[in-house]
Amino acid sequence: MNWVAPPSPAMAVLLWAQRRQIGCCLLLQAAFLGTGMALEGRLSPAPPPCAPPLARSAE
* Residue-wise pLDDT tens digits, 9-58: 888 888 888 888 999 999 999 999 999 999 988 887 666 777 677 666 66
Distance CA 40, CA 29 (A): 16
pTM: 0.54
Closest CA to 28 of 40, 39, 16, 36: 36
Distance CA 8, CA 11 (A): 5
Distance CA 21, CA 13 (A): 12
